[in-house]
A and B are shown apart, each in its own frame.
Chain A
Amino acid sequence: MTALPASTQRKLGLVIDLDTCVGCHACVISCKGWNTENYGAPLSDQEPYGKDPSGTFLNRVHSYEVQPLATSDAVQPAAQLVHFPKSCLHCEDAPCVTVCPTGASYKRVEDGIVLVNEADCIGCGLCAWACPYGAREMDAEEGVMKKCTLCVDRIYNENLPEVDRVPVCVRTCPAGARHFGDFADPDSHVSKLTAERGGFDLMPEQGTKPVNKYLPPRARDQLDEAPQIDILAPFLDTVAEEPTGFVAWLDRALSKV
């Protein structure tokens, strides 16, 4: 079993905004593209053109429907759909590391990124069982465990322009729903965003202390609610019910401009 470092100097990770994620899968595919060509073995696909296509992805988007309960104001509130991108959360207490029999899974001291050293990975799959988030995927072709690297081969890469030294999913996200930074620094963009918007841990009861955070969707369907009438009614005072009165109002209105 593998030890975690006592602490890490930084806590690099993502904060993902569930209010703006439109579920487009841009992050999923850019991740597939970059990590196929870069870190470790390519992300393979089995039966890519066949009956049951199945490939390795380090990041997937799931969609969940939410049906709010009826209230005295809303007999049947509209259901909602939440898109939920999920990849490794780079936990502080990462059970996938401690379970590893070979030391292949490890958490970096410098930045807290959880990685798999593919040379030492025996493909036993224990780490995938240990991860409560289902964030690791065994590559069927290579027989090694694959997972989000937080683009460790981009974020420090001197061959990339500085602006591009971010995980590829963050760079590509069209809705700007993904943010990357150091959660150990309370003044970082991601720390502030998490504080301002009530960012939360995924399944905190698991005790994994995930570094990645999620921002909750803002309240929906406020215009459905009856109390709006009182607030907005003054804005729709009637100036005329019928054409003659309306035309007379036009004259008055034009005189004022």
Chain B
Amino acid sequence: MPHKQPDLDLSPHVSDEVRKTTCYMCACRCGIDVHMKGGKVAYIEGNRDHPVNKGVLCAKGSAGIMQHNSPARLRAPLRRVGPRGSGEFEEISWDEALSLATDWLAPLRETAPEKLAFFTGRDQSQSFTSYWAQNFGTPNYAAHGGFCSVNMAAAGIYTMGGAFWEFGTPDWEYTKLFMLFGVAEDHDSNPIKMGIGKIKARGARVIGVNPIRSGYNAVADDWVGITPGTDGLFILALVHELMKAGRIDVDYLSRYTNAPVLVNGDAKSPDHGLFLRDADGKALVIDRGTGKLAAFDTPGIRPDLHATHRAAGVTHRPVMHLMAERYLDPQYAPEAVAERCGLTPQKIRNIAAELARVAFDEAFTLDRKWTDFRGETHQTMTGRPVSFHAMRGISAHSNGFQTCRALHVLQIILGTVEVPGGMRFKPPYPKPVSAHPRPHSNCAPGKPLDGPHLGYVTGPDDLCLKVDGSPARIDKAFTWENPLSAHGLMHMVISNAHAGDPYKIDTLFLYMANMSWNSSMNTGGVTKMLTDKGEDGEYVIPRIIYSDAYSSEMVAYADLILPDTTYLERYDCISLLDRPISEPNAAADAIRWPVVEPDRDVRSFQSAMCELGARLNLPGFVTEDGGQKYADYADYITNHQRKPGIGPLAGWRMGENGLTHGRGAPNEAQLDSYIKNGGFCTQHIPEDAQYYKPWNMAYQDWAVGIGIFDSPHPYIFDLYSEPLRRFQLAAEGHGSRQPPDHLREQIKATMDPLPIWYAALEDGHVDSAEYPIHALTQRPMAMYHSWGSQNAWLRQIHGYNPLYLPTKLFQQHGFTDGDWARVTSAHGEITVPVAHMAALNEHTVWTWNAIGKQKGAWALKDGAPETTKGFLLNHLIHELLPPRGDGLRWANSDPVTGQAAWFDLRVKIEKVRAPDEAHPVMPKIKSPVGTGPDKLAWKVGK
């Protein structure tokens, strides 16, 4: 045939209209352009103007159209008619559903509000849901942070008033060396990918620390294939090397941290180990100029790191001395730690040297004048172009809090936090512990709670204990077992409610959390707890209400289902009161709005809660005459004020002279303004206020102006943490509020005010010779939790999850591809397919998280590989550690924060004959939505 070209239409019609909203395919919250044809969603791409993703979009985001049209969408409220776990429901009206919920909840509120446990999962409306729970009056509210990454968040707040992700980010503009620890590949996913691409394009380098070399670690210039749970040891070896070599930023440490603050050295004092303070309660330092004591923030002083203070025969030393004593110790030398970390001493030294070289020898200055909180004006800003990022890989261990603290100490001694090229905070952060609330748990019949549920404790007095010393909360958050549990312990709620420990509840109310399946440890045990009946024939957990948009596994285990909308059918606010989308140079918040109307009898969960709140007569949800205060969530977003002038959204408020951002009265057209602006609002930080934020008065004043603070909050970083020391003092016998004796040693050992490393607690309960292998999960970049398996496009990428084995183990056990293994932990066993992976720590096996599905869930058909070969490691992980003969229940959590210690898991493996399907085989549930179609040939336009 000769060459011939048809006439092509090179400018076809793209769409009738582009509607700009916010993605919800993970927690990244990118801006999306939804292309509409004939009133239907035709195509989704990234919004180029959006501060988070600047036009790019990941696989999940682009596949949003298949999520929006998923066959697993719930269609109407459901009432359970079969036994729990059967999946047998009848459809009911919204009036029936909300009446039923009201009938269940109203008596609880009038008699014992704590009998409602309200926990939310991938909730992006926590300032709303917590407000609802506070008005109901139950102390039992939290979102999913306790089983996610609270160690990272809490260690960051306690050390430097902010952590990573929505708290802070590498300075992608200037950084030259980026070091990444254990990041789930969907966490802040597009910004990290964009950042890595950007810095690599200019020749900057990436060091990845992760037992598994996939994703970000695959593109890292250097890979540190660390043994799980030893990150803290590795980090403290870096600290050891840097201090020994004097490669630390002494100027930064003296000015901006508590390194110079004097610590009470009197071993007999009840304040031993606390800071010396002046009459106003301000921590004391020695001024290098005068040699005299001075409050740390005194104008004109230069705090000394060297001098000590002698009084009444006792020498009080600055924090820096204690750090020298701790970290110069040979126990932290590379030679002493390398083998446990799975590294060589030389590699640790090389990395320390490289960090130092880039931080100090590639330092640079920006010509930006700024004034610090002591009133000193600096002509320039010094850049130290080393940045870090970390997430669940280091935090989901029982030593995770101290490991995260250690990482922040490493950043701080290099002088790389809030400086050009380092790590930068995003408003409303930086925000020190003192600017956060304390936790509240005082409840009374018919009354709202006495304050916000979650917060940051500063010592034993802030714990949530009843008068008799027992836990006030069902999850035992803020107790001696885990005092700093800033996000609660959602992973303990079902287990504790089933055990009636610390007390029984009546109604478990969950939102968007797959707690019968991949979001719980001990999945088989949890489904038994959810279906277990007492001698009276009633369920041990009497009532369960659940809200989800999709037919997840959890649906089958609830009594009443409130069907949520998809993310394209709803209003939402991504609020500065909650987890906003700010950038280091700007405060930013955003909305979702219904780009299409639901075609099913479903309601946005938050709108349903506005009505339920009114039916229950909750003070925040009724008008003075007893009517419903907020017609729906959009009404709440627009008109709710947390305090005068401050509402869920900061943009386009009604100021004295017209529309304004920040502080202002509600504006009925506010959501329209957001929609017109692409779904978000950005408030830029002035140039002289963009770095050194915790100490920069221009930033502090700007933050007050837009309503982040009511007054300036400058502070210094806490290398040494006094709140932790206060718990140690209590364990040593000081103070009136005393821990139970069996926890004293644990508190003394783990609540160290300077970062330490200790072996994972599971190692003390499990024979590490019998279970020599570490087992992990990772989240794939193209899936978010369990949601992706209902997505026809994404499940073609990740429909199957073998257990990956490193070369040595693979060969040692004589495996070939296609073989199966029995994997056993101290708690349980699974039988699963295996595959070989060479780029893997030699003591570690792993699989993709949450690919395994229960038969009947997510509208999947019989035989779907997710239900036959897919599996969860959760069956191997118990919420309690194995008994060790002391008669006590030891939680499988970090003893500081209660963070679920998913990654402490130890296993052994053996080769077995291939079974028909992965074990354990869980019962099939009846799908309330049927199953999806046999084929798709999708086209919205002609």
Contact with B along A204-234 (1 / 0, CB 8 A): 0000000000000111111110101100110
Task: Return the chain B residue nearest A172 by Cβ.
Answer: B57
Q: Shortest Cβ distance from B913 into chain A, in angstroms?
A: 22
- For chain B residues 1-36, which have a beta carbon within 8 Å of chain A? 1-6, 8-14, 35
| Given A37-B940, A51-B865, A79-B213: A26 and B197 interface contact (C-beta under 8 Å) | no
Is the C-beta of A21 less than 8 angstroms from some C-beta in chain B?
Answer: yes
Is the C-beta of B267 less than 8 angstroms from some C-beta in chain A?
Answer: no
Is the C-beta of A237 less than 8 angstroms from some C-beta in chain B?
Answer: yes
Q: Are A220 and B932 in contact (CB under 8 A)?
A: no
Is the C-beta of B937 less than 8 angstroms from some C-beta in chain A?
Answer: yes
| Given A26-B57, A229-B350, A239-B245: A55 and B796 interface contact (C-beta under 8 Å) | yes
Is the C-beta of B254 less than 8 angstroms from some C-beta in chain A?
Answer: yes
Which chain A residues border B37 with CB–CB below 8 Å?
37
Q: Shortest Cβ distance from B858 into chain A, in angstroms?
A: 8
Given the complex of chains A and B, what is the CA–CA distance between A105 and B63 in angstroms?
A: 29
Q: Shortest Cβ distance from A61 into chain B, in angstroms?
A: 8
Q: Shortest Cβ distance from A233 into chain B, in angstroms?
A: 7
Q: Shortest Cβ distance from A31 into chain B, in angstroms?
A: 9
Given the complex of chains A and B, what is the CA–CA distance between A102 and B1 in angstroms?
A: 7
Given the complex of chains A and B, what is the CA–CA distance between A29 and B344 in angstroms?
A: 41
- For chain B residues 618-632, which have a beta carbon within 8 Å of chain A? none
Given the complex of chains A and B, what is the CA–CA distance between A118 and B12 in angstroms?
A: 17
Is the C-beta of B225 less than 8 angstroms from some C-beta in chain A?
Answer: yes
| Given A29-B794, A78-B225: A174 and B219 interface contact (C-beta under 8 Å) | no
Given the complex of chains A and B, what is the CA–CA distance between A57 and B59 in angstroms?
A: 13
Contact with A along B235-252 (1 / 0, CB 8 A): 000000101111100110
Q: Are B839 and A80 in contact (CB under 8 A)?
A: yes
Is the C-beta of B368 less than 8 angstroms from some C-beta in chain A?
Answer: no
Which chain B residues border A101 with CB–CB below 8 Å?
1
| Given A119-B6, A175-B194: A250 and B932 interface contact (C-beta under 8 Å) | no
Q: Shortest Cβ distance from A68 into chain B, in angstroms?
A: 10
Given the complex of chains A and B, what is the CA–CA distance between A238 and B807 in angstroms?
A: 38
Q: Are A177 and B796 in contact (CB under 8 A)?
A: no
Q: Are A83 and B218 in contact (CB under 8 A)?
A: yes
Which chain B residues border A47 with CB–CB below 8 Å?
861, 934-935
Task: Return the chain A residue nearest B357 by Cβ.
Answer: A235
Given the complex of chains A and B, what is the CA–CA distance between A37 and B305 in angstroms?
A: 65
Q: Are B59 and A28 in contact (CB under 8 A)?
A: yes
Is the C-beta of B682 less than 8 angstroms from some C-beta in chain A?
Answer: no
Is the C-beta of A10 less than 8 angstroms from some C-beta in chain B?
Answer: no
Q: Shortest Cβ distance from B23 into chain A, in angstroms?
A: 12
Q: Are A33 and B245 in contact (CB under 8 A)?
A: no
Given the complex of chains A and B, what is the CA–CA distance between A9 and B903 in angstroms?
A: 57
Q: Are B324 and A152 in contact (CB under 8 A)?
A: no
Which chain B residues border A220 with CB–CB below 8 Å?
220-223
Which chain B residues border A221 with CB–CB below 8 Å?
221-223
Q: Shortest Cβ distance from B854 into chain A, in angstroms?
A: 15
User: A interface, by DSSP: helix, strand, loop or mixed?
Assistant: loop
Which chain B residues border A241 with CB–CB below 8 Å?
244, 328
Given the complex of chains A and B, what is the CA–CA distance between A85 and B934 in angstroms?
A: 28
Is the C-beta of B797 less than 8 angstroms from some C-beta in chain A?
Answer: yes
Which chain B residues border A226 with CB–CB below 8 Å?
346
Selecting from B45-53, B79-87, B418-426, B826-834, the interface stretch reads B45-53
Task: Return the chain B residue nearest A118 by Cβ.
Answer: B6
Q: Are A51 and B864 in contact (CB under 8 A)?
A: yes
Is the C-beta of A181 less than 8 angstroms from some C-beta in chain B?
Answer: no
Is the C-beta of B799 less than 8 angstroms from some C-beta in chain A?
Answer: yes
Q: Are A65 and B936 in contact (CB under 8 A)?
A: no
Is the C-beta of A240 less than 8 angstroms from some C-beta in chain B?
Answer: yes
Contact of A242 among B10, B12, B328, B931 (CB under 8 A): B328
Which chain B residues border A41 with CB–CB below 8 Å?
937
Which chain A residues border B220 with CB–CB below 8 Å?
220
Is the C-beta of B304 less than 8 angstroms from some C-beta in chain A?
Answer: yes
Q: Are A109 and B58 in contact (CB under 8 A)?
A: no
Contact of B254 among A229, A246, A254 (CB under 8 A): A254
Q: Are A37 and B222 in contact (CB under 8 A)?
A: no
Which chain A residues border B197 with CB–CB below 8 Å?
20, 173-177
| Given A3-B2, A22-B196, A49-B71: A247 and B324 interface contact (C-beta under 8 Å) | yes
Given the complex of chains A and B, what is the CA–CA distance between A22 and B590 in angstroms?
A: 28
- For chain B residues 340-376, which have a beta carbon within 8 Å of chain A? 344, 346-347, 349-354, 356-357, 361
Q: Are B328 and A159 in contact (CB under 8 A)?
A: no
Q: Are A3 and B225 in contact (CB under 8 A)?
A: no
Q: Are A79 and B247 in contact (CB under 8 A)?
A: no
- For chain A residues 76-90, which have a beta carbon within 8 Å of chain B? 78-83
Given the complex of chains A and B, what is the CA–CA distance between A103 and B6 in angstroms?
A: 10
Given the complex of chains A and B, what is the CA–CA distance between A28 and B223 in angstroms?
A: 26
Given the complex of chains A and B, what is the CA–CA distance between A158 and B13 in angstroms?
A: 9
Q: Are B838 and A67 in contact (CB under 8 A)?
A: yes
Interface residues of B, count at CB 8 A: 120
Is the C-beta of A253 less than 8 angstroms from some C-beta in chain B?
Answer: yes
Task: Return the chain B residue nearest A65 by Cβ.
Answer: B838
Which chain A residues border B941 with CB–CB below 8 Å?
37
Which chain B residues border A91 with CB–CB below 8 Å?
none
Max count, chain B CB within 10 A of own CB: residue among A5, A32, A48, A119: A48
Is the C-beta of A106 less than 8 angstroms from some C-beta in chain B?
Answer: yes
Q: Shortest Cβ distance from B538 into chain A, in angstroms?
A: 37
Task: Return the chain A residue nearest B35 by Cβ.
Answer: A37
Which chain A residues border B939 with CB–CB below 8 Å?
36-37, 42
Which chain A residues border B932 with CB–CB below 8 Å?
48-50
Q: Are A78 and B213 in contact (CB under 8 A)?
A: yes
Which chain A residues border B859 with CB–CB below 8 Å?
49
Is the C-beta of B189 less than 8 angstroms from some C-beta in chain A?
Answer: yes
Max count, chain B CB within 10 A of own CB: residue among A46, A243, A246, A250: A250
Which chain A residues border B352 with CB–CB below 8 Å?
236
Contact of A45 among B288, B324, B793, B864 (CB under 8 A): B793
- For chain A residues 163-179, which have a beta carbon within 8 Å of chain B? 163, 168, 171-177
Which chain B residues border A217 with CB–CB below 8 Å?
219
Which chain A residues border B59 with CB–CB below 8 Å?
24-26, 28-30
Q: Are A159 and B13 in contact (CB under 8 A)?
A: yes
| Given A28-B59, A235-B361, A236-B349: A45 and B190 interface contact (C-beta under 8 Å) | no
Q: Shortest Cβ distance from B253 into chain A, in angstroms?
A: 9
Q: Are A30 and B62 in contact (CB under 8 A)?
A: yes
Contact of B935 among A65, A141, A160 (CB under 8 A): A141
Q: Are A82 and B245 in contact (CB under 8 A)?
A: no
| Given A48-B792, A53-B792, A224-B347: A33 and B935 interface contact (C-beta under 8 Å) | no
Q: Shortest Cβ distance from A125 into chain B, in angstroms?
A: 17
Q: Shortest Cβ distance from A133 into chain B, in angstroms?
A: 20
Task: Return the chain B residue nearest A176 by Cβ.
Answer: B197
Is the C-beta of B863 less than 8 angstroms from some C-beta in chain A?
Answer: yes
Is the C-beta of A191 less than 8 angstroms from some C-beta in chain B?
Answer: no
Given the complex of chains A and B, what is the CA–CA distance between A24 and B184 in angstroms?
A: 12
| Given A23-B781, A222-B222: A100 and B861 interface contact (C-beta under 8 Å) | no
| Given A49-B861, A82-B218: A37 and B8 interface contact (C-beta under 8 Å) | no
Q: Are B350 and A50 in contact (CB under 8 A)?
A: no
Q: Shortest Cβ distance from B724 into chain A, in angstroms?
A: 22
Is the C-beta of A69 less than 8 angstroms from some C-beta in chain B?
Answer: no
Given the complex of chains A and B, what is the CA–CA distance between A3 and B935 in angstroms?
A: 36
Contact of A239 among B11, B216, B244, B306 (CB under 8 A): B244
Given the complex of chains A and B, what is the CA–CA distance between A47 and B936 in angstroms?
A: 8
Given the complex of chains A and B, what is the CA–CA distance between A49 and B69 in angstroms?
A: 13
Known A-B contacts: A29-B794, A83-B219. Give 14 more (CB < 8 A). Answer: A22-B185, A28-B797, A29-B782, A36-B939, A37-B43, A48-B932, A172-B56, A226-B346, A228-B353, A229-B350, A236-B241, A236-B244, A237-B245, A243-B324
- List 22 A–B pairs whose Cβ atoms lie within 8 Å, in order of A's numbering: A1-B1, A21-B219, A22-B196, A24-B185, A24-B193, A25-B797, A29-B793, A32-B793, A38-B12, A45-B792, A47-B861, A47-B934, A48-B935, A49-B790, A55-B793, A81-B213, A83-B218, A83-B219, A174-B58, A224-B350, A236-B349, A250-B250
Going nearest first, the 6 A-B pairs with the smallest beta carbon separation are A49-B932, A48-B792, A79-B838, A239-B246, A51-B863, A174-B193
